[in-house]
Structure formats: C-alpha cells, structure tokens
A and B are shown apart, each in its own frame.
Chain A
Amino acid sequence: MTRYALFAVLGIMALAAPFHVYPILLMTILCFVVFAASFNLLLGYAGLLCFGHAMFFGTAAYIAGWLLKNTAITIELAFVVSALAMAVLGYLVGVISARRGGIQFAMITFAIAQFIYFLLLRAPFTGGEDGMQNIPRSALFGFIDVSRSFTLYYLILALTVLAIAAVYRIVHSPFGEVLRAIRDNEARVDSLGFNPVQFKILAITLSAGLAGLAGAMKASVFQIATLHDVSWHVSGTIIFMTLLGGLGTLAGPVVGAALVVVLHDYLAHFGEWALIIQGCVFLAVIMFMRQGIVGAAKALYRRVFVRA
C-alpha cells in the first residue's frame, strides 16, 4: 500500500514539476533516466559492462535530428525509428562481442564505440565538430504542438514512464530471470540448455534500443546533436550515474541520473574541478558504496523497519 502511495506522490510531483523548475533541466534528467535504465538493464541484470553505451545514445540523436530536419516525419515516429535503428546496431555489436564475456566485453564495446565516433566525425551529415544544429520539434502525431519546452516535457515524461515500465517488464519476465542467472553462473545456464550468447545478444539489442530512445529524446530537447554525445566521456558518465544510484535496482538509475545531472548543473562554473570531483565521487562509490544510494537506502530500511 505504501508503494502505491509513493507512486502517487511521485506522479503528482512529476506532473507539477515544470511549473516550478526549468523544463529543460527536468527533461535532461528524464533523458538520462532512460539512458541509465538501459545501461542498468545490461550491467545490473545481465552483468555486461558496456563501456561504449554512448554510441547508441549519440548516434540516435543524429538519426532523430536528421529525420526531423530533412523529412516531414512526426516526432514520435522519429523516436521510434531511431530506437529501432539502435536496436539493430546493438544486435550487430552483440554478435561481435557477446562471445567474449566479462572484462573483454567492456574493452570491445569501448573500441567499437570509438569506431562509431570516428565514422560520425567523417560522415557528411553530422556537421563534424560543429554538430547538427536547429533540430525542429515536429508536431506529435502531426497535430499536437510540442515546440514549447513546457508541452514537450509531458511527452518526454510519458515516454520515460513507458521506458521504465518496459525495463520492469523485461526484468521480471522469464527472460530477465535467465539474464540474472547468466550473470550469476553462466556455465550452469549453459548446462541447463539455454544458449547464454543468444540471451546476451537479445539483452544488448533491447538495451541499445532504449538508449537510442534516450538519445532521440535528447536531440529534440536540446535541438542539437553533437559528437560529445558519442564520446567516451558520456559512456563514463552513464556508468557513474547507474553505479551511484544503485546497480540492479529499478529506482537506481532515476536517482543516479537526477543527482548527476543536477551536480553537473551546479559544477558547470567550476570547469575542470567538475570532472575531478566526479572522479573522486566515482572512486568513493566503487571503494565504499558499491550498492549505490538506492541499495544503501534499501539495506537501511530493512535494518530499521523489518527487524523491529
């Protein structure tokens, strides 16, 4: 019962938020919530550390941007096409890299992401170092105007809720059960007749699609797509967000993304110190608080309430 009350409070807060807070900041948080949730699906549940997740995020931003700029496509279709394209890319990445597990998967995805980075740097439609600018916010379904940030916020919010619900469904399905089993004991899953590589490839495909949705949303929010979105800095940031929030928890990515986006916003004036502080917090989380904020809060809740 408390859970539903919590959801209701959160829902009202989310609906009322743009009246009090700058909508662009809120939408940035939501884009990164979806992005972090997609990353968490891979690392938190399947145990796969994708060190190049920005390739899906950044490439989707370019695809959505190109579609919105050069075709008469409606905004929701641009999102769907970008997400599907990234699912295809994710499938290819999975086919190449899923056979090599654990730590090698991280290095391979890191290198593939860099490959994509160089490709996009060279590609004629990305605008090179300048990025793709003035991406329009085309009407939703062709007739609902979302060009104002205030209205766009509600579309982004709805998509975020859908994305989180999708992750919840995936994680709590038999498929999600197998993923967790692979994370905990791959050899045993193999011996039970499941093919771990195929499950991993599907997990990467799904995660890449979600990351693509996040990137496409981001392109419509900021109305630009840049190479920075594909860079390893963003891949690192998304790992930081997910770990800080809490790996393998549904609320973790939400908390982590919100905290880090707000942190970046505050530290923007400090220039170089922002990265240094982020590195220190990152290191502290890895050394001392690997369960993340949500994980720590859950443990505390259990200690205080369940035992009493």
Chain B
Amino acid sequence: MFDHITIQLLMGQLLIGLINGSFYAMLALGLAIIFGLMHVVNFAHGALYMLGAFVALILLNTFGVPYWGALVIAPLVVGAFGIAMERLILKPIQELDHLYSLLATFAAVLIIEGLMRLQFGASGLPYRSPMPGGVNLGFMFLPWYRGWVLVFSLIVCVAVWYLIEKTKLGAYLRAANERSEIVESFGINVPLMKSLTYGLGVALAALGGVLAAPIYQVSPSMGSNLMIVIFAVVVIGGMGSIIGAILTGYLIGIVEGLTKVFYPEGSHLAIFVIMILALILRPQGLFSAAEKSR
C-alpha cells in the first residue's frame, strides 16, 4: 500500500517537517519562557509572530531595508511593542488568577489581527526569498533558504536555552519571577526583569515571523493558525519546560511530515492525536520529569 513512497517524497516531506518543526520549536520556546517564568499563557504569541513577518514586509517594501536588516530590526520593534503590552495590560492584572492574563492576551489578538486585516486585507502577501536557488543533494533538492532556516533556528533555540539556564542574566530572570520579594531585596529591578522576560519571548516570536515570511505567505491570520499547533506542542512537552518545548517542536514537525507521506488525510489530526495520547499516558508532560515540578 506504500508503493507511491519514493526516497524523494520521503526526504522532501521530512524537510518540510523539519522546517515546520523549527517554527514550532521557536514559538513554543518563547511561549514556554513566558509561561515558565511569568505564569502567563501568551495567547498573543501567534499574533506577534505575524507582526514580525509584517514588520519585515513593511521594512522591505516601504523603507527598502533588506531581509538581513529585518532579521535584527523586526524582533527589536515587536519586542518593544511586547514590553509596552506587558506594562499596559499584563502588569496591572499580574496578581489575579492566571486565567485573566490568558483572556487579556486573547482580546489583544482580536484587536491586533483586526487592525492588520483592516490595513492589509485578509489574503497572503508574498515576500521575496533573500537566498534564491538551492543545491541538489542527489536524493533531494534543498533550497538554500530552507537550509538557512534550519541551521539558524537551531542556533537560536540553543542560544536562548543557554541564556536562560546557564547565564547570570538568565538566573536573574528566573529568580525575579520565582521569588520576586527576595530578589527585590537584593536590589534587582523586578518589574524590569518581568518586562525583559516578556520582551524576550515576544522577540523570539517576531524572529520566527521574519524567518517565516519568505516561506509562507504573510497574512494577518498566519499567527492564529500556528498558535493552535503551538498550544498542543507546549501541552505535550510539559508546560514551562524550555528543553521540552524545543524538542517537542521538532518532534511534532517531523511526525507531521511523515504523516503526510504515509497517511496524508490525517496530517492535520496527527498532532492532536499525539496530544491526547500524551495526556492519557503521561499527564505531567513528556519532558517535565527532568525539570523542577511546579
């Protein structure tokens, strides 16, 4: 029954799976940082990813700033926007039940997506690939840009994990969110640390958006479609587990790619089936045992 499967098809779908997995990993990572440190489920994560892609598009079309400039500028712009969001929306309600921060960011999605649709319409806009062409690997064709996304996103994921878990700034961020009174008594600016945490997570989402712009169409709904998968990824990996988010992101991307080869009708459903199985078999999350439990 699997006669149609050639090595080209298999490798091609595997590559698409890995590319999708890169985005899942980067977004789930940002979401896990924001949740793990601040206990905020950032529903606006997908919308901020979409903003990142749009900032890159506007930079190119209006200001003539090329892709490589956007790669730096867009995360900074959207990160600053995120910090403003944190100060205006999340900070006033941080003492309340965490449900309210989820709902507040959800409301922000309605506003952000609505405004973007108003401005740019609902259909997708193309973004020219900064690295045209590719290389024939014998068994498959690898476009340069996709290779770049694979390598770069992996570097970003490892770097962010290192920053949070191994550096002094990471220790400040974790401590400021975990035991804010004690850290405050040491003279560390806790509100600044919280804003930085949110800003970092949001900047990661925006960076993902810039990376995605040449591969997928840039559209106001690109974020909410992705958000659904990201939520499943974070649930499977264990909430707030940074390493779990990265690994599950790649894993889900690959599984999705393979399902497209062996059972194309089920490729949309595979992620959710895995989530449901994971919830039944390992209710605490795949990777949460290694992390400290909350």
Contact = CB atoms under 8 A, between A and B. Distances in A.
A102 interface: yes
Contact of B113 (A106, A118, A119, A275): A275
Contact of B231 (A111, A283, A286): A111
B118 A272 contact: yes
A114 interface: yes
A202 interface: no
Interface in A68-120: 96-97, 99-100, 102-104, 106-108, 110-112, 114-115, 118-119
Interface in B106-133: 106-111, 113-115, 117-118
A9 B51 CA distance: 51
A118 B272 contact: yes
B111 A280 contact: yes
A283 B283 CA distance: 32
Given A96-B280, A97-B279, A111-B235, A49 B265 contact: no
Contacts of B232: 111, 114
Interface in B40-87: 41
A239 interface: yes
B111 A279 contact: yes
B110 A279 contact: yes
A96 B273 CA distance: 12
Interface string B266-290: 0011001101100110010000000
Interface in B200-258: 224, 228, 231-232, 234-235, 239
Assign chain B's interface to a size class.
Answer: 35 or more
Contact of B102 (A49, A122, A275, A278): A49
B100 interface: yes
A16 to B, nearest CB: 36
Contact of B107 (A49, A119, A272, A279): A279
Contacts of A180: none
B171 interface: no
Nearest to A107: B231
Given A103-B41, A276-B111, A243 B103 contact: yes
A122 B110 CA distance: 27
B28 to A, nearest CB: 12
Contacts of B234: 107
A222 interface: no
Interface in B85-112: 89, 92-93, 96-100, 102-104, 106-111
26 contacts: A49-B103, A99-B279, A100-B279, A100-B283, A103-B239, A104-B235, A106-B41, A106-B99, A107-B231, A107-B234, A110-B228, A110-B231, A111-B275, A115-B272, A115-B273, A232-B228, A272-B117, A273-B114, A275-B110, A276-B115, A279-B108, A279-B110, A280-B111, A283-B107, A286-B100, A286-B103
Given A99-B279, A111-B231, 7 more contacts: A100-B283, A103-B35, A107-B235, A111-B275, A115-B272, A276-B115, A287-B104
